[in-house]
């Protein structure tokens, strides 16, 4: 009597693993796209509230630029000039919706503008990040895919 695994048994096991992997791959990639979108939404909310806090703390005006073409959110101050003082680039697979850059001026001691950013994942999921102008508290919401 021989002990061990035959080539046919090994091929059957490999085929079963390949079938399971091919079935689970689409849901795994969709899950990763969702994680990237959630992470990017949190990062944008954090970036915007941090910018608002920095304007108040340093008593220095700033401009927030939301640029869909560059897929980035930037903060410019008088001290930074043409170069952003800080910038947040979206991860691969996450895009800022829109055509043209939008600019929001932030002034110390004044009311902040209502800022809203919509992010879209490569799978079509969308999130809206809005910052309350009075409290500077961000609100992240899922947007239904129905257009």
3 within a domain of the structure (yes/no): no
Residue where the block lists tokens 């994680």: 35
75 within a domain of the structure (yes/no): yes
Residues of the chain with pLDDT under 70: 1, 30, 145-147
CATH code of the domain in which 109 resides: 3.55.40.10
How many domains is the chain built from?
1
Give the pTM.
0.78
DSSP H or E stretch at residue 98: none
Q: What is the pLDDT of residue 80?
A: 87
Q: What is the pLDDT of residue 136?
A: 79
User: Residue 64 pairs with which residues in a beta bridge?
Assistant: 75, 104
2 within a domain of the structure (yes/no): no
1 within a domain of the structure (yes/no): no
What six digits make up the tokens of 40? 């990017």
Q: How far apart are CA 42 and CA 80, in angstroms?
A: 25
- 40 CB neighbour count, 10 Å cutoff: 24
Q: What is the pLDDT of residue 48?
A: 94
What six digits make up the tokens of 112? 């902040």
Q: What is the pLDDT of residue 147?
A: 46
Domain that holds residue 110: 8-143
Q: What is the pLDDT of residue 145?
A: 61
């Amino acid at each position: 009597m021989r002990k061990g695994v035959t080539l046919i048994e090994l091929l059957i096991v490999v085929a079963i693993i390949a079938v399971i992997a091919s079935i689970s791959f689409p849901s795994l990639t969709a899950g990763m796209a969702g994680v990237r979108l959630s992470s990017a939404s949190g990062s944008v909310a954090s970036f915007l509230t941090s910018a608002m806090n920095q304007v108040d703390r340093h008593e220095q005006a700033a401009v927030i630029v939301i640029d869909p073409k560059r897929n980035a959110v930037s903060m410019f101050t008088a001290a930074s000039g043409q170069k952003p003082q800080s910038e947040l680039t979206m991860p691969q697979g996450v895009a800022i919706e829109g055509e043209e850059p939008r600019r929001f001026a932030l002034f110390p001691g004044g009311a902040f503008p209502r800022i809203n950013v919509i992010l879209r994942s490569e799978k079509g999921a969308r999130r809206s990040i809005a910052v309350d102008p009075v409290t500077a508290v961000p609100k992240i919401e899922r947007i239904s895919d129905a257009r």
